[in-house]
């Protein structure tokens, strides 16, 4: 019996690598510390009632952001391990198997479990406030979306210490992801972790489309919405069209692995290229899903810190919506070398060049907004400038990659790696950093330390260029991606050393940001309601926003309602009389979303190991939660008018 237990444990847990043992210890110590703190300060009930069961969009947004930053740390550690391995030739720091697992998990975590939740966090924190709404359209669905993402991410990350990580690449191309090449459970973790979190992403897309179309403040027309809300709408429309493709693709791969189907296996009559087409039908729109909201963020920041109305509002709306459409017609540029023929390559080359046009329009609109503006160089604006410079380079290299004949040289090389990170870090990460710095006072009620933030800014930017500029040259020198080592005779090691130094500088920058947050929490500087002299509705309410957001729903007559109100005050025009404050209807908390998502996690874990005795009860738990929720009535409450008046007086300092 003891031998059976040891055999099971050796197969169940990942063993034999000191780095994994270190991760085991770190995870155990972290769990012990969390349990100790919650128990010592008697916060278990507080955790359940205030956070785990909340349907408040602001708290859900904060949880998204915290989860995303934790995933950034995990994915960043993967990146530093890869750069350490590639720093010098013939390095034995990581085994080939471990290296494959790390570059697989790095890509998945950074795109699906870092960029996506950071984006959804900003959706939740900002959109209802910009629209003058008290919550999203479906608060319970919003909670369920977060917990599905969370448990999906946890399931995927468990593969690091249990069963073994997936190692077929971040898009899991067959045959590498089939049973013939990945007989372990790592690829199963990949399928079910992404499937569960992907359901939550689809729900979020639906939720915010309805919120934007149906929950706007009285008088706010579509063409009066803030640009960030427009970018969210375009991103969510892309989500609801793209994510079903991912869901179906992974389901077909699961049928291949679990039930002996042959959708993607040549010897069974399938075709691996069908998988590659399907995954990129989702994958390229996914790039625009995460970057479109960043464009909206830069539009808000540029107008605010230039003290000018956004230039070319209608052209910006057209650019955002056209990108969300054209993004579905560019997927084959990821495999120009597959042999589709000149006709197919020409179509996708032209569509890829076309999509660069609305992107360029936005850059010129931001520049014209800044032209002759009274620019204030605070951290959000600094990140905007950093983005413009970085994204112009990324856009130009993207156009180079769109030229099909040239792509035969660039394809599968480090030139492509550099371009991809130029747009995803310089566009998405820099954009969401700008958004976090911009809306941080509104969300938390306190200001961030400016000097530490500038240290982080410069370290991020210097580290970025030191890391990725050499990779363009390495790609042109013939260094291909996914290799775990190379020889001294290649002449690549000097540039790889420089690139590795840049990677560690970005890691140091992240630590400065953590220091900045901790320092600001310790020496808290209270934030005013409108610290940046903003233009949109979120800056008209106290910081942090109260549970009900707006004591009375605002009436909107212009594109920049708060800015117009300020101009009227300067002209001596009296504001419209405030409506009478009445009791406010609010949704009640619910633990069903948390429990239901955990049941999905249990079912997913069972499917990973093909344990039907676990998977079936997990799915039954999901069905029971759906049934219970369908018979849950009157799960809401009213905030009395007297309490609203008292809260407003306290938060605005008029008591």
Per-residue pLDDT tens for 361-385? Answer: 999 999 999 999 999 999 999 999 9
Residue 12 banded pLDDT, cuts 50, 70, 90: confident
- Which pLDDT does position 220 carry in this prediction? 96
Per-residue pLDDT tens for 424-467? Answer: 999 999 999 999 999 999 999 999 999 999 999 999 999 999 99
Per-residue pLDDT tens for 173-199? Answer: 999 999 999 998 999 999 999 999 999
Strand partners, 192: none
**pLDDT of 69 strictly over 60:** yes
- Which pLDDT does position 23 carry in this prediction? 84
Residue 654 banded pLDDT, cuts 50, 70, 90: low
- Which CATH code of 2.60.40.420, 1.20.120.1200, 3.40.605.10, 1.20.210.10 fits the domain covering 42-579? 1.20.210.10
Per-residue pLDDT tens for 240-271? Answer: 999 999 999 999 999 999 999 999 998 888 99
- Which pLDDT does position 432 carry in this prediction? 97
pTM for the predicted model, two decimal places: 0.97
Distance CA 238, CA 241 (A): 5
Distance CA 652, CA 655 (A): 8
**pLDDT of 386 strictly over 60:** yes
Average pLDDT of 607-632? 95
Share of the chain above pLDDT 70, in %: 100
**pLDDT of 223 strictly over 70:** yes
Distance CA 253, CA 260 (A): 10
Q: What are phi and psi of 554, to 5 degrees?
A: -70, 155
With vertex at residue 543, the alpha carbon angle to CA 564 and CA 213, rounded to the nearest 5 degrees, is 60
The packing angle between helices 342-370 and 379-402, to 10°, is 160
Range list of β-strands (E), 76-188: none
Residue 579 banded pLDDT, cuts 50, 70, 90: confident
Per-residue pLDDT tens for 478-532? Answer: 999 999 999 999 999 999 999 999 999 999 999 999 999 999 999 989 999 999 9
Contact predicate 340/407, CB 8 Å: no
- Which pLDDT does position 14 carry in this prediction? 86
Distance CA 178, CA 167 (A): 11
Q: What is the DSSP letter of 92?
A: -
For 54, 183, 190, the CA distances from 76, given in Å and listed in that order, are 30, 28, 19
- Which pLDDT does position 575 carry in this prediction? 80
| Mean pLDDT, rounded, of the chain | 94
Residue 655 banded pLDDT, cuts 50, 70, 90: very low
641: tokens are 């008018």
With vertex at residue 337, the alpha carbon angle to CA 336 and CA 343, rounded to the nearest 5 degrees, is 50
**pLDDT of 170 strictly over 70:** yes
Distance CA 276, CA 273 (A): 5
The packing angle between helices 313-326 and 272-306, to 10°, is 170
Per-residue pLDDT tens for 513-527? Answer: 999 999 999 998 999
| Three-state SS at 232 | helix
Q: What is the DSSP string of 159-220?
A: TTTBT----STTTT-TTTTSTTT--SSHHHHHHHHHHHHHHHHHHHHHHHHHHHHH-PPTT-
**pLDDT of 39 strictly over 50:** yes
- Which pLDDT does position 221 carry in this prediction? 96
Strand partners, 415: none
> Most confidently modeled of 16-25, 330-339, 381-390, 645-654?
381-390
Contact predicate 173/276, CB 8 Å: yes
Distance CA 189, CA 78 (A): 18
422: tokens are 């130029």
Measured between its terminal Cα atoms, the distance across the chain in Å is 71
* Lookup result for tokens 């040239």: 406
**pLDDT of 74 strictly over 70:** yes
Per-residue pLDDT tens for 127-154? Answer: 999 999 999 999 999 999 999 999 999 9
| Three-state SS at 67 | helix
Instruction: Show the DSSP H helices in 538-611 as ranges.
Output: 561-570, 592-608
Q: What are phi and psi of 573, to 5 degrees?
A: -80, 120
Per-residue pLDDT tens for 535-546? Answer: 999 999 999 999
Distance CA 443, CA 429 (A): 19
């Amino acid at each position: 019996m003891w031998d059976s237990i040891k055999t099971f444990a050796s197969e169940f847990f990942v063993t034999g690598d000191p780095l994994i043992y270190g991760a085991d210890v770190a995870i155990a110590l972290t769990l012990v510390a969390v349990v100790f703190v919650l128990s010592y300060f008697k916060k278990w009930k507080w955790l359940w009632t205030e956070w785990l069961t909340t349907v408040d969009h602001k708290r859900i947004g904060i949880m998204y952001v915290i989860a995303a930053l934790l995933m950034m740390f995990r994915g960043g550690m993967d990146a530093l391990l890869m750069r350490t391995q590639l720093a010098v030739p013939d390095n034995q720091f990581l085994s080939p198997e471990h290296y494959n697992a790390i570059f697989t998990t790095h890509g998945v975590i950074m795109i699906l479990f870092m960029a996506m939740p950071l984006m959804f966090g900003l959706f939740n924190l900002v959109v209802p406030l910009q629209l003058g709404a008290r919550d999203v359209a479906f608060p319970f669905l919003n909670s369920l979306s977060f917990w599905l993402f969370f448990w999906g991410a946890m399931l995927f990350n468990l593969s690091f210490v249990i069963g073994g990580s997936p190692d077929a690449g971040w898009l899991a191309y067959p045959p590498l992801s089939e049973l013939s090449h990945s007989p372990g459970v790592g690829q199963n973790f990949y399928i079910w972790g992404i499937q569960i979190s992907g359901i939550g992403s689809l729900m979020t897309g639906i939720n915010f489309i309805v919120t934007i179309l149906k929950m706007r403040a009285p008088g706010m027309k579509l063409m009066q919405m803030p640009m960030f809300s427009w970018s969210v709408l375009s991103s969510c429309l892309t989500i609801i069209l793209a994510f079903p493709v991912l869901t179906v693709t992974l389901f077909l791969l699961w049928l291949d692995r679990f039930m002996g189907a042959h959708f993607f296996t040549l010897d069974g009559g399938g075709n691996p290229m069908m998988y590659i087409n399907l995954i990129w039908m989702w994958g390229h729109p996914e790039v625009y899903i995460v970057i479109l909201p960043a464009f909206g963020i830069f539009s808000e920041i540029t107008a605010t810190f230039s003290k000018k109305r956004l230039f070319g509002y209608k052209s910006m709306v057209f650019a955002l919506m056209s990108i969300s459409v054209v993004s579905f017609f560019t997927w084959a540029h990821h495999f120009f070398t597959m042999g589709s023929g000149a006709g197919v390559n020409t179509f996708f080359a032209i569509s890829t060049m076309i999509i660069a046009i609305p992107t360029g329009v936005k850059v010129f609109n931001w520049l014209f907004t800044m032209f002759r503006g009274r620019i204030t160089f605070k951290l959000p604006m600094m990140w905007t400038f950093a983005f413009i410079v970085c994204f112009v380079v990324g856009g130009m290299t993207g156009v180079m990659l769109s030229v099909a004949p040239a792509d035969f040289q660039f394809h599968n090389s480090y030139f492509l790696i550099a371009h991809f990170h130029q747009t995803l870090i310089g566009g998405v990460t820099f954009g969401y950093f700008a958004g976090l710095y911009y809306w941080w006072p509104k969300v938390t009620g306190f200001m961030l330390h400016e000097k530490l933030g500038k240290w982080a800014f410069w370290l991020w930017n210097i580290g970025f260029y030191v890391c990725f500029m050499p990779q363009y040259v390495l790609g042109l020198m013939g260094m291909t991606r996914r290799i775990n080592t190379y020889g001294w005779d290649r002449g690549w090691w000097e540039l790889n050393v420089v690139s590795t130094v840049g990677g560690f500088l970005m890691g140091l920058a992240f630590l400065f940001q953590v220091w900045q947050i901790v320092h600001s929490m310790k020496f808290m500087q209270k934030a005013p309601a409108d610290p940046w002299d903003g233009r949109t509705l979120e800056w008209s309410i106290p910081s942090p926003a109260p549970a009900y957001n707006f004591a009375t729903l605002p009436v909107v007559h212009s594109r920049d309602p708060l800015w117009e109100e300020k101009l009227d005050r300067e002209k001596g025009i009296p504001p419209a009389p405030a409506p009478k404050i009445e009791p406010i209807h609010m949704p009640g908390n619910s633990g069903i979303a948390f429990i239901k998502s955990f049941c999905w996690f249990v079912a997913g874990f069972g499917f990973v190991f093909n344990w039907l005795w676990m998977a079936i009860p997990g799915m039954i738990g999901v069905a029971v939660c759906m049934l219970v929720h369908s018979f849950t009535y009157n799960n809401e409450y009213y905030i009395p008018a007297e309490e609203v008046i008292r809260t407003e007086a306290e938060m605005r300092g008029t008591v």
